[in-house]
Amino acid sequence: MRTLTLAILLATVAAAADPFTIESNVVYGMYSGAALLLDVYKPTQPNGYGIIYVSGSGWTTPLAYNAPALKSNGQSQLYAKALASGGYTVFAVNHRSLPRFRYPAPVEDVQRAVRFIRHNAKIYGIRADRIGASGGSSGGHLVSLLGTLDGKGNPTDLDPVERESAKVQCVVARAAPVNFLTGTNGQFLLGMARPLPEAKDTLEYRTHIEASPISHVTPDDPPFLLMHGDKDEAVNISQSEEMEAKLKAAGIPVKFLRIAGAAHGPTFPGATNPPDYLGEMVRWFNLHLIRK
């Protein structure tokens, strides 16, 4: 009897530790017979708003059949749990990746995910007109494009999901590559070398511009929270500095969380006095996504 009571108590404590449930492997689209999947973090006390989360991976996933899913890796769990604990319904996604799939495949997939979420907003109990996006590193690049690209749906598409907008209304981007002409080398993602500065009338130059979130910033873009370590050797902090300046010039609300001593990674390794970056993320969405 004591053993049974203890088991029930432990199960109750474990359930109380996570104020949400997870619906795994929701199919948000198909590509050549392969399912595109996402996990839904459903808070026990939802606030009626949804956020798509895109994990960083260098736009790459392993080729093994038993490779861990991008949507359920440690980074996705860390950030999605923080958001779900704050009342947000979180959609952590897989997307097509290197080495099999190059640009624009991952961009198309995350846009499809937003359209799917928006189309099914009533099912998930969230507002269709107010969807946020968060991601780090390559995921930060993708969510930055969700904020800056026009994202208009095709009103005549036979698939009603594709008629929806893929534009999000608030963004949190950690250590995001935003300018392939000045920052992270996008050769493998884009399938072409970085062009010379004078080679502007080339496919290479146009593709680098097209794939860079900073190229698409306009005054109608959503608020951005940028987070970046100043010792990041994978994505230089100058990328977030450029993005901050471009957003400010366009009149977009932006906050730049510069983290001293931090290298590249979801937990800002090496930070000398790490801030509450998860709390900052939740507070940004509370301030800029929620509307009456």
Give the pLDDT of residue 292.
77
Q: What is the per-residue pLDDT for 2?
A: 46
CA 124 – CA 90 distance, rounded (Å):
10
Q: Domain 20-61+68-288: state its class.
A: alpha beta
Q: Pick from 162, 211, 168: which is nearest to 187 by CA?
A: 211
Q: What is the pLDDT of residue 227?
A: 98
Nearest Cα residue to 80 out of 54, 59, 57: 54
Decide: helix, strand or coil at residue 134: strand
Three-state DSSP class for residue 194:
coil
pLDDT bucket at 12, cuts 50 / 70 / 90: very low
Confidence of residue 34 (pLDDT cuts 50, 70, 90): very high
Whether the predicted pLDDT of 218 surpasses 90: yes
pLDDT value of position 46 = 98
pLDDT band at 96 (very low <50, low <70, confident <90, very high): very high
| Residue 4 pLDDT exceeds 80 | no
Residue 17: pLDDT band by 50, 70, 90 thresholds? confident
What is the rounded average pLDDT for all residues in the chain? 94
What is the residue whose two structure tokens read 């190229």? 215
Query: Using an 8 Å Cβ cutoff, are 47 and 290 in contact?
Result: yes
Give the per-residue pLDDT at 56: 98
Mean pLDDT of 118-127: 98
The residue ranges of every structural domain in the chain are: 20-61+68-288
pLDDT number for residue 7: 45
Question: Please, which pLDDT band fits residue 8 given cuts at 50, 70 and 90?
Answer: very low
